[in-house]
Amino acid sequence: MALSERAYQALLVVYPQDHRRACGESMTQLFRDRMHRDGGGFGTAVVWSQMGLDLASSATKERMETIMEVKSWTKQWWEILVVLLGVNSLVVGFGFLVSGYADVAILVGFAPGALLLVGLALRRTNRAAATVLIILGSIGAGLAYWVIYTVVFALIIVVGGFQKGKIGFQGSGPEIAV
């Protein structure tokens, strides 16, 4: 058995045990066939990159399905969280739109909200696409909220400082009282 094949078999440990029992030999055979057909030199790197990407994505999917089967309540709460985050993003986007900030509304609210809700709608027909959309929507919403809340808290601190007389302007620039 070649070193590449042994390494690939060792990587199969990332799959759930039931999946390895059912599919491990056929996955190893596919790897062996691909290396025989396309391997050698640069082809070995190509086979490893393709099989490695497939292994990472399918192992993640199999692990998530196993977790969801074991804990069905977790799946329900996860779906509720995605719906709430998606709707909240749409509401935030609408708020920016009404305020006259259409670009911000699309970037901060509508895009992440749409990605989350469309991803959730696709979860039964195309799990891979649904997962990608939900992850992208979550990242977009998370970054947007982080920026929004950072700016809001900074404004609260600055405005509060002005109101309490701790921040003011004297002469040519700002002055902060300690």
pLDDT band, residue 163 (cuts 50/70/90): low
Residue 153 counted as domain residue: no
Beta strands at 167-170 and 173-176: parallel, antiparallel or unpaired? antiparallel
Residue-level pLDDT at 26: 93
Report which of 36, 46, 27 is spatially closest to residue 2, judged by C-alpha positions. Answer: 36
The three-state secondary structure class of 170 is: strand
Q: Give the residue with greater pLDDT, 146 vs 157.
A: 146
Residue-level pLDDT at 142: 81
Give the pair of three-digit tokens for residue 59: 């192992």
Residue 42 counted as domain residue: yes
Residue 51 counted as domain residue: yes
Q: Where are the alpha helices (DSSP H) in 71-166?
A: 72-98, 102-104, 111-122, 127-163
pLDDT, tens digit, 9 for 90 and up, residues 74-127? 666 777 777 777 777 877 777 777 778 777 778 778 888 888 888 878 877 888
The pTM of the whole model exceeds 0.85: no
Least confident range from 39-43, 104-108, 134-138, 159-163: namely: 159-163
Residue 48 counted as domain residue: yes
Q: What does the CA dihedral 116, 121, 123, 125 come to, rounded to 10 degrees? A: -140
pLDDT, tens digit, 9 for 90 and up, residues 2-48? 888 888 888 787 788 888 899 999 999 999 999 889 888 888 888 88
Tell me the one-letter amino acid at 19: H
Residue 164 counted as domain residue: no
Residue 28 counted as domain residue: yes
Residue-level pLDDT at 65: 75
Residue 92 counted as domain residue: no
Residue-level pLDDT at 72: 59
Identify the domain containing residue 21 by its residue range. Answer: 1-70
Q: Is the pLDDT of residue 166 over 60?
A: no
Q: Could you give the number of structural domains in the chain?
A: 1
Residue 160 counted as domain residue: no
Start-to-end C-alpha separation, the chain: 72
Residue-level pLDDT at 28: 92
Determine the Cα–Cα distance for residues 44 and 64; give it in Å rounded to an integer.
30
Determine the Cα–Cα distance for residues 113 and 75; give it in Å rounded to an integer.
19
